[in-house]
Structure 1
Amino acid sequence: MNLELNNPDITGKHTPDPLRFAFDKKKGPHAGGMAKPIPPQQTQSALENAFSDSGEKGPRCLYIHIPFCRVRCTYCNFFQYASSKKLIAEYFEALKTELLWKAAMPWTQAYPFQAVYFGGGTPTDLSADQIKELGEMIRAYFPLTPDCEITLEGRINRFDDRKFESALEGGINRFSFGVQSFDTKVRRAAKRLNDGDEVLERLQHFVSYDSAPIVIDLLYGLPHQTLDNWATDLELYLESGAHGVDLYQLIEMQNLPMGRLVEQGKLPEPANTQMKASMYQMGVDFMAKHHQRRLSVNHWSSDNRERSIYNSLAKTSAQVMPLGAGAGGNVNGVSTMQFRDMEKYIEAVNTNQFAAGMAFQSASNAALVNTIKAAFDRGVLSASSLPQGLFESVMPLFEAWTKNGLAIVSNGYLSLTLAGQFWSVTLAQNLIQVISNNQNNATKAA
């Protein structure tokens, strides 16, 4: 097996400080495998076949995309439409139509869903009545496990008590707020609308209901962020009383407002990889010091109420049914990205067509890819989770990672060090790439 052991992009660099210098930068926000594009003229039939087959029993999730935001954050690559009551109302009707149509399909009804996620965009820009109605429809028309996690993502901005209470009435049982930072100067540079002290006050208010887990995202590496105000952000997570927190690093993406503002001299440069590594280390140490329970390499909970089911499944092994413009998912080996264009989405839904802008057939090793992604998200890969003999076959690569301070191999487990956890997506992608390349070469040789 060719493990590319002479390629530092695969093995990482041998350096006294692998946390900060093992790789030049993170390869992307998520790891993934190769999939074969389905010709556009075959997309509808491929999806019809996928949804007509009950498929195999296994983890399933539902993702509903709400593509509206009052303001585009400077770091965001997901912005689609500015919030407008008229446009949201039109979209909401189409979304309900798609929901009812897909809910009745054989694949949907075959097995229960373990998690539902309202993402965006900004789902909290929906009205109180719309949030409640969507939640009620999910519970009425989809088979759900008794402990199904139903998450509403959004902002504190304009999310008042009526919306929160309507969400609870509709069956929402988890809330995820994109705080990013409590520092008002950092927030303003990122186009977040509320001052930090207001965000903290509202979070504490929602926590006081004691009705559902409240989880927040903190983003490190933003312009104006320093180790000092990042330390304050971590402290304020505890002060907020939130039940969990994700610590995400800023991924530099081209053609985003932040990049243009930096080029124009209107924003300072965001943190480099080495500073982000220091922030990650600070976050990990802080969570350990305060006995926060670790659920993944970047997610912690303060108590047993926060489970992060959707995040752990959707990033890894689950099939995900997509609803809404811009939603992505995978059903029975067919992955899709739905139309981002509102008119195309609504037209497809109103004519009982799948609103798929593109579709792909999953690679033959998709199950293996998912296993690797799930393991590296947890920070540990077991030999028993891989096909027989594969762990031993790639052992020279694991030994190179161990030599370079990224992992430790012991008793049939590959455990990521702190540096390996910081570079977990890169390492997962590298392992997937090496294995896939060798499998493809073996197929060609045969």
Structure 2
Amino acid sequence: MSIKKEDILEKLNPADSFTLAMDEEIRKDGLAGNYGCFALVLSNIPDIEALQQRITEFSQRFPVSQASLRQIGRRFYWCKRNDPPTLFFQHHCPDNQNEADFQQQTLDRIINHKQTREISAPIEFHLLTGPKQHTFFIRWMHPFGDARGADLILKYLCTADDVQRQQFGLPETGSLVNVQLGKYRWWQKIGLLLKGKRYIDQLDRLESIQPFNSDLPPQRMNYTIKRLSEAQTEQVIKLARQHVGLTGTSLYYIGCLMRALEKMHPDNAGEAYCAPYAFNLRKQRALTPMTGNHVCALFAQVPRDAVQDRQKLFAHLKQQNAQVIRQQMDYAFLPLMWAGSWLSLTEYGKILRQSHGSGKERSSFWFSDVGRLDIPADSFPGAEIKAVFYACQVTTPPALAFLSCIYRNQLTLSYNFNEPVGNSEQIDKLHQLMLAELLGEAE
């Protein structure tokens, strides 16, 4: 099907293409695709009319939210549709159904809903209501945006003042990945690319340990949400500062999860734990860009013997991170992402996932720390935000993604796992080990 030039809204940036390659890998597993999810637990049924109006306004201001993802040659573009998709859906618990079951089953159905990329809306908003339980749920295709972008979209919907809402997305900027790449001369880009390749080659000297021992094919993504108390959260933050410094909270979570996995499966094959994570290129408190991925990727890798020693583990992570920043490795993956965007999705996915040494999966788990959310609890139209959580699809292997955020002074942990490769009983055991590590109570 040919596409007119005037129907092209925008081209995917290199970070978008990175997430699209992962979308292809997840779809090859028979799962829904690379979707991110953000949920708000509400105190009551919100002002639906105001919410609908702001969602409509958002879709009109940011037309990519109604676009279709199309391939033209080797590249992918967001293109106009003849018929815009429905973005807002309401789900109400029937009188004869258990409310908790309704919430769980409906969210499960939304998360695992399968559509082709061309048909799927870039983002959807779902409102689940019942006698007592109410959830506002956002699901988006990762090529459409990153977690920080989803946070900005939510803030847009939570902004009552019309004039203040107009400030979102301003000043208009292009891809921050391309902006950052544009700061380098061509020979500097080549130098960065080679530096990034050497770093990957170094990681691939050690075979990554996988969290699950199952060879069963994945059937669905499931998730478990655990929320710490305010006192526990304060203790975790205190220990993170002690072990990895003021800005190393994400590294603390990663290290604790590595130790928990090692204790759960000490005999799993491999030589090191390796976790990809991203850092955001947006300026702090910026209200733009709203859509698109504006991140660069990094890896945290720790040999098994260091993971077994808590002090050695965090010293290793801290030193590794300092070395990455000192050697500008934090930007070395930008030219690699640009080069990868010219490959086929299959070729790119293979390079992103498979170790050049063993040919096996490079990632032991996926990781994302959204940090501390600053959305006022009383800002949602007609309802109070009581709690939040994130969820995401993940490839198999590793079949495990760990997401974290802090809201209302409570740390929320989201364990996302592909069944039957992993199961709820394993995740409950993993969480108990993880909690002990986070609180410094582990032996």
Instruction: With the length of structure 2 as denominator, give the TM-score of the two structures.
Output: 0.25
Judging by fraction of residues, say which structure has more helix. 1
Instruction: With the length of structure 1 as denominator, give the TM-score of the two structures.
Output: 0.25
Structure with greater contact order relative to length (CA < 8 Å, sep ≥ 6)? 2
